[in-house]
Structure 1
Amino acid sequence: MSVLSGSWTEVLYLVAAVCFILALKGLSGPKTARRGNLIGAGGAVVGLLVTFLAFDLDHIPLILLAIVVGSALAVPAARRVQMTQMPQLVALFNGVGGGAAAVVAILELAAIGAGGDATSDRGNLAAVAFTVLVGSISFSGSCVTFAKLQELMTTRPVVIPGAAPLLVGGLVFSVGIAVWLFAVGQLWLGLLLLVLGLAVGVMVVLPVGGADVPIVISLLNAFTGLTVAAGGFVLHNTLLLVAGTLVGASGTILTREMASAMGRSVGGVMFGALRGGSTAGSTAISDRPVKSVTPDDVAILLGYARKVIVVPGYGLAVAQAQHTIRELAEQLEAKGIEVAYGIHPVAGRMPGHMNVLLAEANVPYEALKEMDEINPEFKTADVVLVVGANDVVNPAAKTTPSAPIYGMPILEVADAQQVIFLKRSMRPGFAGIENELLYDPKTSLLFGDAKDSLTKVLSAVKAL
């Protein structure tokens, strides 16, 4: 028996929707992100409670069991996940959302068919067809991105023979089945569409490789939002419609911004490998000679500099070296040396990855400078310390048209007086291409784990 009246239900759903909007607003800045996250979570709790209190739900014990099991799996995973693995977690959670929307749509299709003439509800059938197709694509595609980022499979593009015609044929056939489902409303067509969507999702993501994977995650996130919105239409739930639309719109904007930051089109990211291009290069380790230095050498260069710019990358995240780099920066600042951090929009594995990582180490947000702001400053920098980054500083983005990152705006570290790379080895970056800056006379390389190397540099700086 429902406890809330229809009016109170709509009011509280409106409150939850406003919370979601305020959450997005809060997440737009680091100082308000935590508050925005809490407001969004509060809105979700309100929406969940209203659903339980306002409607006569069936199978409540099963619903509660699903919530308990899901919480038991998700809470420990979210608390234990390392910052380096956050993109994988986002991809996985996003895929689960799309898959859940597709399953709900299938169940609704079964209910429509059981209630009589399924074709009498054309609006619902259109929403069901869309949700099943896009939700299943989002689920399987997100699983592949998770596997790539977790290195359960190669991160390079996988282009099977005949991939382009297979993908086009799969998409055309899927749309045809969706139209047929809209026409007759049969459950078996919904199940067939679900299988086709899963296959298309895999075929779409497999050819994507290198640094393009974060863009795909963002795009699939937008897909999931759209399926949730369509699911809200199917279930006549205004809150789902609002929440899904917000996620879909924000995911679409983020995808376009990320693609623009890389100097790429979304179509080029998704289908470049199928057109004969590539988003990955060689995985071979170069044996060309480079100038290798010791931690003491790096400490001397840093200790006698007037301005140092730190460029963090995924290698810093893997080594969990954010606290050590902050200590090193504080030591340099205590000696009167100016220190800033140059942050590329797609540094790491997802937007804001480096910002969150450094904020975790209590690096002042004012010291973090975005690419457009920091690029003019490299000319006045005595030393640039590149910690685990490669593709975002690779001049090939400007000089090599055949490179997969060609056209991507980069951090202009080559303009500095001296450049020091902290690397484990000469292995190429995530995009799989060689960085000619490593062989520049002004460039020195300190090999080893970033945290261990920075700890030794820190000790040497203290001893100056």
Structure 2
Amino acid sequence: MTTFIAVLYIISFALFIYGLMGLTGPRTAVRGNWIAAVGMGIAVIATLLTPGMSNWLLIALGVAIGVVVGVPSARKVKMTAMPQMVALFNGVGGGAVALIAWVEFRTTEGYAHEPAYVAIASLFAAIVGSVSFWGSNIAFGKLQELISGRPITLGKLQQPVNALVLIAAIVFAVVIASGGDAELLMIGLLVAAGVLGVVVVLPIGGADMPVVISLLNALTGLSAAAMGLALDNTALIVAGMIVGASGSILTNLMAKAMNRSIPAIVAGGFGGTTSVASGGSGEVRPVRSTSASDTAIQMAYANKVVVVPGYGMAVAQAQHVVREMAKLLEAKGITVEYAIHPVAGRMPGHMNVLLAEADVPYEQLKEMDEINSEFAQTDVALVIGANDVTNPAAETDPGSPIYGMPILKVNHSRSVIVLKRSMSSGFAGIDNELFYDAKTSMLFGDAKSSVGEIVEELKAL
């Protein structure tokens, strides 16, 4: 039986890795997800076959509750709310690890007679899992707008408070590892770690939230791997390390895409939401507005149109009508491409998933580094709800909070049309200088309705 279980684990790990490889491209992502899910199913079966496994009724009840809650939630969630669900589900994983660590503490009477590495790994998992759970819940609240998207800080006390809470959690862990078996010690550790998760994420603004989600995902993976080490469970170790490693790499890539360091993000940064449309001195700045008819005519006589999607497109659920518009332009012999910024939307790949849902050909999706050199040859750049990722201030204003952040250089196009509901700022909470460019026209209104009007005008031409 031991050999059989080991073989099942090896098969499941191979499927994890093969499935992860499939997630590197839109064409293979769905298949990769299914492959990894099969691998997890095999790992669960192998774990349940482990000698000494009991409480089958409780296990079945837990699985049933998870299915009843998880499946309907995943099926009904809108694509605009997918980042929130990712944050929430990730937090649940961290919370589960923290609870397992607590159970291990209770069943071993404070890790009495357990090797030192078991206590250390379990306590590490408890701290990191609790941080991930509470931090992910705060991220969920910000994304769901239950909590203000602006940085919520304690001012100069923020970093001292963070350090104090971290030290408290470590002190509880050291006392427990030294032989303390009072349950209040473990509860104190979990509470201190939970407070740390809250006070670290609250000061982080909406502009940094995609990086935070990725970072918390990596932390959940590391906590699971540590718990697997404590429980001598190979599945948890391998799966946790895969999640931790991939999440860490993604976090680093996204931070670079924003020209921000991870420590700076964790320390609290920019990213509130405002509705200001004025210059630094408070004066109202003029913009040029346009109509769906003029936009359709301008695109109909273009050679190349680049669509730049952002969270505004996701909110309006405009991806399908955008695809319809692109088909009409392509029928006229016009080249249509889509410019994708690494942090457009509220999580990595958000725009890719939305456009894939609308059957946009994968080869038309161009990453930032690939498309930026093409904007100079673009007749019309149609910006749909993207804000901070198109702001020229990132290149021209050293005093801007986003200065140095790589952007989509839509201002290099011959003409720019921006679809927005209003002149409100993006997650960074700052004005977009693109709106006031002489080449820019603003088409105000709901993105889906505006693009629908453009479609009707194109049909009439």
The structure 1 residue matched to 2:414, chosen from 406, 411, 417, is 417
The runs of 5 or more residues in structure 2 that have no matched partner are 279-283
Instruction: Tell me the equivalent position of 2:48.
Output: 52
The structure 2 residue matched to 1:439, chosen from 436, 440, 445, is 436
Instruction: Kindly provide the amino acid, as one letter, of the partner of residue 131 in structure 2.
Output: I
Identify which range, 172-181 or 335-344, moves more after superposition: 172-181
Instruction: Tell me the equivalent position of 1:379.
Output: 376
Deviation at 1:368?
0.5
Does the residue aligned with 2:285 lie in a helix, a strand or coil? coil
Measured against aligned partners, the alpha-carbon deviations of 1:209-268 in whole angstroms (never above 9, x if no partner) come to 021011011000000000100111111111110000000000000000000011111011
Instruction: Tell me the equivalent position of 2:236.
Output: 240
Identify which range, 377-386 or 399-408, moves more after superposition: 399-408
Q: Does 1:133 align with 2:127?
A: yes
Separation (CA, whole Å) in 1 of partners of 2:332 and 2:398: 43
Instruction: Tell me the equivalent position of 1:22.
Output: 18
8 Å CA contact 2:19, 2:33 repeated in 1: yes
Separation (CA, whole Å) in 1 of partners of 2:114 and 2:81: 47
The structure 2 residue matched to 1:176, chosen from 165, 171, 178, is 171
Instruction: Tell me the equivalent position of 2:302.
Output: 305
8 Å CA contact 1:119, 1:182 repeated in 2: no
The structure 2 residue matched to 1:284, chosen from 253, 273, 276, is 276
Instruction: Tell me the equivalent position of 1:148.
Output: 142
Does the residue aligned with 1:118 lie in a helix, a strand or coil? coil
Separation (CA, whole Å) in 1 of partners of 2:51 and 2:89: 27
The structure 2 residue matched to 1:89, chosen from 75, 79, 85, is 85
8 Å CA contact 1:394, 1:437 repeated in 2: yes
Identify which range, 88-97 or 282-291, moves more after superposition: 282-291
Measured against aligned partners, the alpha-carbon deviations of 1:160-213 in whole angstroms (never above 9, x if no partner) come to 252221111111222222222211142332221000000000011001002101
8 Å CA contact 1:17, 1:43 repeated in 2: yes
Separation (CA, whole Å) in 2 of partners of 1:201 and 1:53: 35
Instruction: Tell me the equivalent position of 1:122.
Output: 116
Separation (CA, whole Å) in 2 of partners of 1:281 and 1:396: 17
Separation (CA, whole Å) in 2 of partners of 1:28 and 1:425: 36
Does the residue aligned with 2:408 lie in a helix, a strand or coil? coil
Does the residue aligned with 2:383 lie in a helix, a strand or coil? strand
8 Å CA contact 1:272, 1:279 repeated in 2: no
Q: How does 1:303-342 map to 2 (within 5 A)?
A: 303-342=300-339
Deviation at 1:285?
4.2
Q: CA RMSD in A?
A: 1.3
8 Å CA contact 2:308, 2:340 repeated in 1: yes
TM-score where L is the length of structure 1: 0.95
Q: How does 1:382-401 map to 2 (within 5 A)?
A: 382-401=379-398
Does the residue aligned with 1:113 lie in a helix, a strand or coil? coil
Separation (CA, whole Å) in 2 of partners of 1:79 and 1:185: 46
Identify which range, 96-105 or 393-402, moves more after superposition: 393-402
The runs of 5 or more residues in structure 1 that have no matched partner are none
Instruction: Tell me the equivalent position of 2:457.
Output: 460
Does the residue aligned with 1:267 lie in a helix, a strand or coil? helix
8 Å CA contact 1:280, 1:404 repeated in 2: no
Instruction: Kindly provide the amino acid, as one letter, of the partner of residue 173 in structure 1.
Output: A
Instruction: Kindly provide the amino acid, as one letter, of the partner of residue 160 in structure 1.
Output: L
Deviation at 1:60?
1.5
Instruction: Kindly provide the amino acid, as one letter, of the partner of residue 123 in structure 2.
Output: A
Instruction: Tell me the equivalent position of 1:270.
Output: 266
Instruction: Kindly provide the amino acid, as one letter, of the partner of residue 250 in structure 2.
Output: L
Q: Does 1:163 align with 2:155?
A: no
The structure 1 residue matched to 2:351, chosen from 341, 350, 354, is 354
8 Å CA contact 2:341, 2:408 repeated in 1: yes
The structure 1 residue matched to 2:426, chosen from 396, 418, 429, is 429
Separation (CA, whole Å) in 2 of partners of 1:197 and 1:401: 37
- After the TM superposition, which segments of 4 or more aligned residues of structure 1 sit over 6 Å from their partners? none
Go from structure 1 to structure 2 and tell me whether the alpha carbon gap of 1:37 and 1:281 turns closer, same or farther (over 3 Å shift): closer
Measured against aligned partners, the alpha-carbon deviations of 1:48-68 in whole angstroms (never above 9, x if no partner) come to 122223333232212211111
Identify which range, 50-59 or 16-25, moves more after superposition: 50-59
Measured against aligned partners, the alpha-carbon deviations of 1:53-93 in whole angstroms (never above 9, x if no partner) come to 33332322122111111110110000001111111100000
TM-score where L is the length of structure 2: 0.96
Deviation at 1:281?
6.9
Does the residue aligned with 1:28 lie in a helix, a strand or coil? coil
Does the residue aligned with 2:177 lie in a helix, a strand or coil? helix
8 Å CA contact 1:131, 1:230 repeated in 2: yes
Deviation at 1:331?
0.5
Separation (CA, whole Å) in 1 of partners of 2:291 and 2:65: 51
Does the residue aligned with 2:108 lie in a helix, a strand or coil? helix
Go from structure 1 to structure 2 and tell me whether the alpha carbon gap of 1:212 and 1:456 turns closer, same or farther (over 3 Å shift): same
Measured against aligned partners, the alpha-carbon deviations of 1:78-128 in whole angstroms (never above 9, x if no partner) come to 0001111111100000000001001001101111117xx715421111011
8 Å CA contact 1:119, 1:185 repeated in 2: no
8 Å CA contact 2:131, 2:197 repeated in 1: yes
Instruction: Kindly provide the amino acid, as one letter, of the partner of residue 284 in structure 1.
Output: V
Instruction: Kindly provide the amino acid, as one letter, of the partner of residue 142 in structure 1.
Output: S
Q: Does 1:258 align with 2:269?
A: no
The structure 2 residue matched to 1:190, chosen from 160, 183, 186, is 186
Instruction: Kindly provide the amino acid, as one letter, of the partner of residue 314 in structure 2.
Output: A
Measured against aligned partners, the alpha-carbon deviations of 1:387-437 in whole angstroms (never above 9, x if no partner) come to 010110001111223322221100000001100000000110121110111
8 Å CA contact 2:271, 2:427 repeated in 1: no
